[in-house]
Amino acid sequence: MRNNTLLFGLWILLSSFAAGLAAQDIKVADIRFGENGEATRFVLDVSAPVKPNIFLLANPSRVVIDMPEVQWQLGRSIEPKGIIAGFRHGLFSSGTYRIVLDLKNPAVVSKAFPLPASEGYSDRYVIDLKSTGSAAFTKAVKVSRAARLKVIKPSVPVAPPKIVRRTDNKRIIVIDAGHGGVDPGTLGRFGANEKILTLKISREIKRELEKTGRYKVYLTRNKDIYVPHRSRFALAKRVGADLFVSVHVDAIKNSKVRGGTVYTLNERASDKEAARLARKENKSDVLAGVDLAYTNDEVSSILIDLAQRETMNASAQSAEILLPEMRKQVRMHKKGHRFANLLVLKSPDVPSILLETGYQTNKADARMLNSRKGQRSISKALRIAADKYFETLVVQGR
């Protein structure tokens, strides 16, 4: 019985790939969760037939459903049922739209099939999940991984932007809009996802900085798409950035907590709050359904560690210069500079800071973060702070 389930899973995977993922402009009009005896059913209402690529991931137990780049048309929030604890969706990479289902307990795909449009129904795709023991789950994860590796072509990296030779004396800044795509980030009082706010703020910062004629600004993403941590700081290196600023919006249970914080990298968090933040911000790959078993960690050699230590000091210095300037323009937390072990700041040679612009869970902060005026204040603060920072570098002969 167990073997049949596994074989069936394999068949699903292979047949999905055979069908190809070339469909375009497919709309997802609705999704449904249902409980049918022991099985949990997940149904997608789609405007044209789809054959998703489905696979399992462990630690934590997840089901990942990859489709071509669909248009997600549901505005309302939907509660998951049965064995599904939660779910996320969004653009995973150019051409791939991903749904990640978080499982309460290990489960396998017992059935997955398309249902053609019929009276009153659009095309659907149905996935049935069935609880399983952890040994069977581990086996199913392995099978789905093996099948995936056999057919998946290595992902083609996005064409790198041309390396800019500085002939114009402009300082190069990379602004990193936190989260994106299948990783939504925090959710705020006004229902805004962090990923949407960080993009708005980042675009505003780019405008504000470039307006001066003193800066060339690159955004790590300019649409709602997932970008791995290392691709974010790799961009900074590629364009020869002088400064990397990752933009985020925090959330916390206590709605009274407010104000921005500048974070720089340190393996040891400066306090409990910094440790909490690092745990949250570093989870991006897990949330996006990335198979961490297959990411090789090239950020671990001793040479890089040494360069990084120097960069860490430079980053901390930049934060100390930026902070008082930020404080003049926007509300900053009392303890405005903290240290945390943040993956996105692990650029070996570009001074990097992470700016938590405020707390979405605080009414005043949320209002500020959601307004154009507030987004402009943050941008202005960062521009003045950057001016000051680079002036200091010039004085120091750097």
Q: Smaller CB distance to Zn ion: residue 185 or 289?
A: 185
* Closest distance of CB 185 from Zn ion, Å: 5
Q: CA 156, CA 374: separation in Å to the nearest integer?
A: 38
Chain residue whose CB lies nearest Zn ion: 248
Q: Which 363-382 positions form the footprint of Zn ion (CB under 5 A)? A: none
- Euclidean distance between CA atoms 125 and 49, whole angstroms: 8
What string marks each residue from 147 to 166 as x (binds Zn ion by CB under 5 A) or -?
Answer: --------------------
- Cβ neighbours for 3, distance < 8 A, ≥ 6 positions apart: none
Binders of Zn ion in range 227-256 (CB under 5 A): 248
Q: Total number of residues binding Zn ion (CB under 5 A)?
A: 3
**What length does the chain have?**
398
Within a 10 A sphere around the Cβ of 319, how many other Cβ atoms?
Answer: 25
In angstroms, give the least distance from the CB of 249 to Zn ion. Answer: 6
Residue number with CB closer to Zn ion (171 or 248): 248
* Helix, strand, coil in percent for the chain, rounding step 5: 35, 30, 35
CB of 196 to Zn ion, least distance (A): 12
Report the C-alpha gap between 370 and 363 in whole angstroms: 11
Residues 179-208 that bind Zn ion (CB under 5 A): 185
Q: Of 148 and 333, which has the nearer Cβ to Zn ion?
A: 333
Which of 178/188 has CB closer to Zn ion?
178
Task: Write down the residue that tokens 């926007």 correspond to.
Answer: 330
Q: Which is nearer to Zn ion, 122 or 231 (CB)?
A: 231
Tell me how far, at minimum, the Cβ of 344 lies from Zn ion, in Å.
Answer: 9
Phi then psi for 357, rounded to 5 degrees?
-75, -15
Q: Which residues contact 46 (CB under 8 A, 6 or more apart)?
A: 26, 27, 28, 29, 70, 122, 123, 124, 125
* Cβ-contact 198, 185 below 8 angstroms: yes
Q: Which is nearer to Zn ion, 248 or 338 (CB)?
A: 248
Residue 131 and residue 2 in contact, taking contact as beta carbons nearer than 8 Å: no
According to the binding rule CB under 5 A, does residue 178 interact with Zn ion? yes
Q: What is the nearest approach in angstroms of Zn ion to the Cβ of residue 168?
A: 33
Does residue 260 touch Zn ion according to CB under 5 A? no
To the nearest whole angstrom, how small is the minimum distance from the Cβ of residue 144 to Zn ion? 30
Q: Please state the closest distance from residue 220 (CB atom) to Zn ion, in A.
A: 13
Note the residues at the interface with Zn ion (CB under 5 A): 178, 185, 248
